[in-house]
Structure 1
């Protein structure tokens, strides 16, 4: 087997340089990464990224493995490679490019997630600690202050409990996202359960909670508990953030063929008539801890995780979530679930 055939069989870009740091060989994947007609050219004109060029020089000079990052950018994406330089003898170097974009992205998401969780917990914990110190010091024996502070501490503790609950729920739905549900579920029954569950909260907020749908049963394969969670989360949000509109409407309809799913689907719309928000926020609302109005969200007890949970559950059901809002006219969150 020829050297070129061996390099072509390696499932990652490979570049081989000689003692003069000129490209001796590269496989098809490396050609796709670095371009055509590179054999014989000096590696400086091929790679053009100082950290990797230095790693190649160090490897050739010292005769030992070195590595560096190599980043490829185009108009839409950034791909990150771990470039490993291995001496081949007689001053030559073999450079292999391992795509670590997904690992880097996952690592960054994990760091961001930890930072966000820490921030979300630090705020109520700091408040509670401050109230405790006040009650132990200046407000000792002041019953009115104690009642006021204890009420606030109870509210902050409740928010932390909800946050921990949502974190556990998010972890669970992420773990099950690739497992397709197999149980037959009737959506009317779920929506009626949502109305019963949230009826008292809607009444307390001065919101009329309505369901508009034909009487026929609508069946699909799904997880009843998770679908209940989806529609409770969306309806609860509509009550909290759209209560000034006076009503929230749940509707169920059939879609003969959704153009994105490519299948017939059932569509559930949760519509409020409140303040709404700028459409520029729509594509980010399902990100963890993203909020249109952080102060308002915390004031109504939001954790910033509800829509992330919704997204993962909808993904598990191979469906999609549509979000439409207009300032002053309210919002509509639509869940499309395939029936085919």
Structure 2
């Protein structure tokens, strides 16, 4: 019995020592950026595993120490595990058979399937990761590999792999935001340069006219200045929409955590567009009883999505009433609630519907620009729904108007 107690005390001491050393290692690496922190996290996990292995050596058969790299989940948390659970770096231990032996809280949040006993192929199917892990297990050389996770909205991960006596250690770094920020800059420059060219050319042409033939013509000056103002406002709206779309895409991989009454959000959005509706002589027919279903949503983004749909309905609804109402329950969308925005305009031909959410796609370019549209409104709605793990449903037919439905997951 004494030897059993001694073994337990030794495991506890080594586990605590490993945890302290792990914490010190991570603290020293905190200023080295994400890559340095990830590498330090892998080293900390290795220290803990080594401490557990050393502590298990003297343990008698009646009191075996749990092996951190054994197949399957451990029966109880070993000493030092709590410290690694609290580490903000995603850490994994993978045994020689390819099964996950340990995954801390950060790893499980980043890769929900990562659980002890699960084969790594169920979590990471990218060929580059699989090949790097195989090579590290074979020759023991540390490796870094960057790859995309294509499930859900998609993430970009960088894996830091190193060899351990029981298998491999892996620290994961989430590179999604950095990759999307770079893509955002590239897309913004490409889109802005293309879409701003036409209004800029128009403004420059009017400036030439005002500097020459219309120099002494007050009536022409007033007319041209009004057109120039309209073009400048269009450019401002375009830049605002591009920036808004870029911000939404940047965090698209992170679902919102807020809880909102969907009907209350619809009432607020409809009230915000009442002045525009009155100016156009259009009524907004609202049916959103209290209380409504509670959904998981970002308040500002949901207001933006509803606002874009209501604004479009007011612009393209032919001056007829716009309806905002709850969507009937759909058995194909369990655990989701919907809100519809309907107009009674010209409708959209079937072949155009799949492309309505593309950037700058317009069924009628002239009509869209006459209404002050940028061609980004529905693209913004689509990306907001993607971030919310929801869906934008579009139903329309020529002569029958259009119905746009936002489907959002119910809050737990």
Indicate whether the TM-score tops 0.5: yes
The offset of 1:253, in angstroms, is: 3.7
How many angstroms apart in 2 are the aligned matches of 1:143 and 1:280? Answer: 48
- How many residues were matched structurally? 236
The answer as to whether partners of 1:128 and 1:156 remain within 8 angstroms in 2 is: yes
The offset of 1:270, in angstroms, is: 0.5
User: What corresponds to 1:269 in structure 2?
Assistant: 340
Q: Which ranges of 4 or more aligned residues in structure 1 deviate by more than 2 Å?
A: 107-119, 213-218
Matched, 1:127 2:202: yes
Provide the TM-score with structure 1 as the length reference.
0.65
Q: Secondary structure at the match of 1:179?
A: coil
How many angstroms apart in 2 are the aligned matches of 1:323 and 1:114? Answer: 30
The answer as to whether partners of 2:188 and 2:242 remain within 8 angstroms in 1 is: no
User: What corresponds to 1:211 in structure 2?
Assistant: 286
The offset of 1:224, in angstroms, is: 0.4
User: What corresponds to 2:368 in structure 1?
Assistant: 297
Matched, 1:161 2:236: yes
The offset of 1:207, in angstroms, is: 1.2
1:284–1:264: structure 2 CA closer, same or farther, 3 Å change rule? Answer: same
The offset of 1:176, in angstroms, is: 1.3
The answer as to whether partners of 1:183 and 1:222 remain within 8 angstroms in 2 is: yes
User: What corresponds to 2:402 in structure 1?
Assistant: 331
The offset of 1:217, in angstroms, is: 2.9
Matched, 1:249 2:323: yes
The answer as to whether partners of 2:261 and 2:291 remain within 8 angstroms in 1 is: no
Root mean square deviation of aligned Cα: 2.6
Q: Identify unmatched segments of 5+ residues in structure 2.
A: 1-125, 129-181
Matched, 1:280 2:351: yes
**Deviating more after overlay: 109-118 vs 217-226:** 109-118
User: What corresponds to 1:97 in structure 2?
Assistant: none
Q: Secondary structure at the match of 1:243?
A: coil
Alignment match of 1:171 (pick from 238, 243, 246): 246
How many angstroms apart in 2 are the aligned matches of 1:122 and 1:322? Answer: 33
How many angstroms apart in 2 are the aligned matches of 1:250 and 1:206? Answer: 17
Matched, 1:139 2:211: no
Matched, 1:191 2:266: yes
How many angstroms apart in 1 are the aligned matches of 2:304 and 2:262? Answer: 13
How many angstroms apart in 2 are the aligned matches of 1:213 and 1:193? Answer: 11
The answer as to whether partners of 1:258 and 1:264 remain within 8 angstroms in 2 is: no
Q: Secondary structure at the match of 2:273?
A: helix
How many angstroms apart in 2 are the aligned matches of 1:223 and 1:232? Answer: 14
Bigger relative contact order, structure 1 or 2 (CA pairs below 8 A, ≥6 apart): 1
Provide the TM-score with structure 2 as the length reference.
0.54
Question: Any idea what the Cα deviations from partners look like across 1:240-277, whole Å, max 9, x if unmatched?
Answer: 11133x1100001452x642x5x321111100001111
The answer as to whether partners of 1:206 and 1:243 remain within 8 angstroms in 2 is: no
Q: Identify unmatched segments of 5+ residues in structure 1.
A: 1-9, 13-106
1:11–1:249: structure 2 CA closer, same or farther, 3 Å change rule? Answer: closer
The answer as to whether partners of 1:124 and 1:160 remain within 8 angstroms in 2 is: yes
**Deviating more after overlay: 246-255 vs 154-163:** 246-255
User: What corresponds to 2:386 in structure 1?
Assistant: 315
1:108–1:316: structure 2 CA closer, same or farther, 3 Å change rule? Answer: closer
The offset of 1:221, in angstroms, is: 1.4
Q: Secondary structure at the match of 1:213?
A: coil
How many angstroms apart in 2 are the aligned matches of 1:11 and 1:297? Answer: 45
Question: Any idea what the Cα deviations from partners look like across 1:144-176, whole Å, max 9, x if unmatched?
Answer: 101100100000000000000001100100011
